[in-house]
Amino acid sequence: MYVKNEWFVSGEMALTDSELQAWVESISLSCFGKPFLHEARFNPRLKTTGGRYHLGDHRIEMNPKHLIHGQEVFGKIILHELCHYHLHLEGKGYRHRDRDFKQLLAAVGGLRYAPRLPGQTKPKYVVHCLACGRRAFRQRQMQVDRYRCAQCGGRLKLEQVVAEQLNKGDGCLDDTE
């Protein structure tokens, strides 16, 4: 049976699902002026994503690993999920690419990308396939002329990673596309 009073601990923070529920409800009222009427709980199986909003039953799941960043940052991840929640319930653009979403997220000061977790190392190099465009991140330099693309057999090119490339495919807050 599912227990609501289990502690989720990361860094200096420890919260139960009941406390998370109360926190999400209070942020919803204070930042959106609207109640959160569904379920919020931790999902320890989430890898690096910050949280998840479920379109089917409107519940919000949060990744307890991100508690390590502290109350302020974790609150901004909750804000992000609440933007999906309120916009979806109101029939507005709730996806990351929607204008409604971008505007509301900026207005409430929510995070767009999940902060990097400890142990999640930032890759230094990216290998591009010149034929199909497939990308793969690498920690070390490699002799790309000795290899071919695993997907299409095309020729490869090695580049140093710049911050914008990481933001596209790496560290995205959730997969509500």
Residues with a known catalytic role: 81
Query: Is 152 near Zn ion (CB under 5 A)?
Result: yes
131: left (phi over 0), alpha (psi -120 to 50) or beta: alpha
Q: Rounded distance, CA 171 to CA 126, Å?
A: 15
Q: Rounded distance, CA 100 to CA 94, Å?
A: 7
Query: Is 161 near Zn ion (CB under 5 A)?
Result: no
Total number of residues that touch Zn ion (CB under 5 A): 11
Query: Is 134 near Zn ion (CB under 5 A)?
Result: yes
Annotate each residue in 40-59 with x if it binds Zn ion (CB under 5 A) or - if it does not, as one string: --------------------
DSSP state letters, 84-98: HHHHHHTTS--STTS
**In the complex, what is the shortest distance from the CB of residue 1 to Zn ion, in angstroms, rounded to a whole number?**
30
Piece of 12-20, 105-113, 136-144, 152-160 that binds Zn ion (CB under 5 A): 152-160
Piece of 111-119, 121-129, 140-148, 161-169 that binds Zn ion (CB under 5 A): 121-129
Query: Is 82 near Zn ion (CB under 5 A)?
Result: no
State the DSSP code for 123. Answer: P
Alpha helices in the chain (DSSP H): 17-27, 71-89, 99-108, 163-169
| Contact with Zn ion (CB under 5 A) among 132, 135, 159, 168 | 132
* 127 and 157 Cβ atoms separated by less than 8 Å: yes
Query: Is 130 near Zn ion (CB under 5 A)?
Result: no
Q: Rounded distance, CA 32 to CA 30, Å?
A: 6
**In the complex, what is the shortest distance from the CB of residue 61 to Zn ion, in angstroms, rounded to a whole number?**
12
Q: Where does this chain bind Zn ion (CB under 5 A)? A: 129, 131-132, 134, 149, 151-152, 154, 173-174, 176
